[in-house]
Structure 1
Amino acid sequence: MKNPSDFILNIKIVITILLLFFYGIVQAQNTRGQLFIIGGGDRSNALMTQLINISDLKKDDYIVVLPMSSGEPVESYDYFKAQFQKLIPNPIIMMNFNKTTVHNKVLNDSLQNAKLIFISGGDQTRFMDVVKNTPVYTSIHKAYKNGSTIAGTSAGAAVMCEHMITGNQKLQTKYSETFDNVRYDNLETTVGLGLVKNVIIDQHFMKRSRYNRLLSALVEFPNHIGIGIDESTALIVRDKEIEIAGESEVVVIKKPKGIIKSKKDNLVSIKSLEMAIYIEGQKFKIK
């Protein structure tokens, strides 16, 4: 061997590459939990039983309800608890965090050890105003990475994304459940939990005809997948695979091409896009 030091250096490089490779595998496998994202509306016992089954709750596991989206948090918790107590014996705990308690270590330790975390409906902005940049945000992510199921309905569905639809229009002073047309620089988004990447989620989708709102989101984020979840319907997200559960439909819109932004009223032209509609039991993948 001409130069033993070169051989040793090469061995070290190979070991480093292998360590990085296996570290990447471990990191990819760390997210062992799943998401159960409900489009709002009534939650049937059958749908909630599916949530319980995928959560794989053991005897000593407990459920945490985060009702901070709701203007009536206790009522939201009581409604959830009343339904779940009929389906499963596990403890159901409310953690109605505020600006002070988000820093409580005992509460955060309990949150991240919950086997199922449920985020109520209401106002997604209200929820994120409490949670963002706090230990609660971190605890939810830790629970997810450690194998817990994170579920949410309506506003609790919207918060799952990186880029969260607030429901407001920048070009309109009055709130509307749907958008009158598709316009650029009109959709208001803010930071969500980011549990699902490269996806924009809208809820109550078929019931409230929110096509224009979701299309407006894809104009702002053309590389994302737009997913509209109808009421009483859910996405079961396992890594990059999504399965549909529930009574209605899920609309998936992606790959908008040839986007032209007009100077007149911020109107938009889209030459083409892909759209699909899924029902219970069907699956699709996200990148």
Structure 2
Amino acid sequence: MTENTTKRQLVIIGGAEDKEDDCHILREFVRRSGSTKANIVIMTAATELPREVGENYIRIFERLGAEDVRIIDTETRDDASSSTALGAIAKATGIFFTGGDQARITSILKGTEIDTAIHKRFSEGVVVAGTSAGAAVMPDKMIMEGDSQTNPRIEIVEMGPGLGFLPGVVIDQHFSQRGRLGRLISALIQEPAVLGFGIDENTAMVVTDSQIEVIGEGSVTIVDESDATYNNMGEILKDEPLAICGAKLHILPHGYKFDLNTRQPILNDNSIPNADVSVPVASISS
């Protein structure tokens, strides 16, 4: 496959994906990674139980038919230059980041030889996936922690550097289940990004180059502030309510798509919604 035709693929999962029944999302990851020829590497940097979590995913991916599955356990930054780990990444067709604490992932991996190797393989077409904390690290700036089920304020969310597989956006996970719209908006206004993605549990956004497809039982909520007419970020203290006007809100369930270049949803019949079939939210304010 030439450089011009290589597809960059991400499977970004909102957490709590089905691991026992049909495993629809994990099945899609294995399929995109090569099906029965898949060579999968499980990155356990996020979790304090790397062996337990990693072996559970080994069991799942092997049951789905992956040819080779192995764990890369990086407990310290020194582990992130392991020749064994780098060799496994060089042969991988799919790389999977588990859940846990996203700050652990970046503190251990960002800027290391493994980080460089994974980005190189991603640019060559290897599928990169992550669930929960593993989803949070996909942008260049990520939500490190923050309060749920509250109205938008600067103080409710802490941002930090992500791994940069999908730059220029903000991603939150466990979205509807934990009431995280307020913190997604707070993060989006603080960062130089125009799109915020909130992914429900057992739901994923599958990114192929510039197009996103939603799979799973929940929805992906997209906040688009590209045409926002106002926010009060420069006028308030950190514990005061944020306001944003003129933003758009899209809620996309399984099968719907979204174009990152045009910032437009794509309906099941591949049409783009217009005023006759969709009503954008005119404003979101606290």
Q: Which stretches in structure 1 are left out of the alignment for 5+ residues?
A: 1-25, 169-175
Q: Is the 8 A contact 2:211 2:257 kept in 1?
A: yes
Match of 1:37 in 2: 12
The structure carrying a bigger helix percent of its residues is 1
Which deviates the most, 104-113 or 128-137? 104-113
The answer for the alignment partner of 1:263 in structure 2 is 236
3-state DSSP of counterpart to 1:100:
helix
Match of 1:10 in 2: none
Question: Shift of the alpha carbon at 1:58?
Answer: 5.6
**Equivalent residue number for residue 127 of structure 1:** 105
Q: Does 1:112 align with 2:86?
A: no
Deviation at 1:181, TM superposition (A): 2.1
* 1:30–1:146 contact (8 Å) kept in structure 2: no
Looking at structure 1, the residues matched to 134 and 62 of structure 2 have their Cα atoms a distance apart, in angstroms, of 21
Alignment correspondent of 1:86: 63
SS of 2:77 mapped into structure 1: coil
Distance in structure 1 (CA, Å) of the matches to 2:11 and 2:221: 16
Counterpart for residue 146 of structure 1? 124
221-230 or 264-273, which deviates more: 264-273
* Counterpart code for 1:263: I
Residues 66-97 of structure 1: CA deviation (Å, up to 9, x unaligned): 01101211111111112122111411100002
Structure 1 residues 92-147: Cα deviation after superposition (integer angstroms, max 9, x where no partner): 10000232221123421321331011100000001111001101110110111111
* Residue of structure 2 in register with 1:71 after alignment: 48
1:1-287 correspondence runs (5 A) = 29=4, 32-43=7-18, 44-57=22-35, 59=37, 61-97=38-74, 98-168=76-146, 176=147, 178=148, 180-184=150-154, 186-221=156-191, 223-255=193-225, 256-261=228-233, 262-263=235-236, 265-287=239-261
Runs of 4+ in 1 over 4 A off after TM superposition: none
Q: Which has the larger radius of gyration?
A: 1
Q: Deviations over 1:211-258 (max 9, x none)?
A: 001010121125420000000000110111000111111100011330
Counterpart residue identity of residue 46, structure 1: H
How much has 1:187 moved relative to structure 2? 2.5
Q: Is the 1:162–1:191 contact (alpha carbons within 8 Å) kept by the matching residues of 2?
A: yes
Taking structure 1 as the reference length, what is the TM-score of the superposition? 0.82
- In the alignment, the residues of structure 2 paired with residue 230 and residue 68 of structure 1 have an alpha-carbon distance, to the nearest angstrom, of 23
Segments of structure 2 that go 5 or more residues without pairing to the other structure are 262-286
Mapped to 2, the partners of 1:83 and 1:32 lie a distance apart of 25
Following superposition, the deviation at residue 180 of structure 1 comes to: 2.2
Aligned CA-pair RMSD: 1.9
Confirm or deny: 8 A CA contact 1:31 1:239 kept in the other structure. no
Partners of 1:126 and 1:187 in 2: how far apart?
A: 17
- Give the 3 Å change call, closer, same or farther, for CA 137–89 of structure 1 in structure 2: closer
The letter for the 1-side match of 2:253 is: I
TM-score, normalising length from structure 2?
0.82
For 2:193 and 2:99, locate their aligned partners in 1 and report how far apart those are by CA, in whole Å. Answer: 27
SS of residue matched to 1:161: coil
Identity of aligned residues (%): 33
Q: Which amino acid aligns with 2:30?
A: I
For 1:260, give the aligned amino acid: N
Taking the aligned partners of 1:191 and 1:112, their CA distance within structure 2 comes to 25
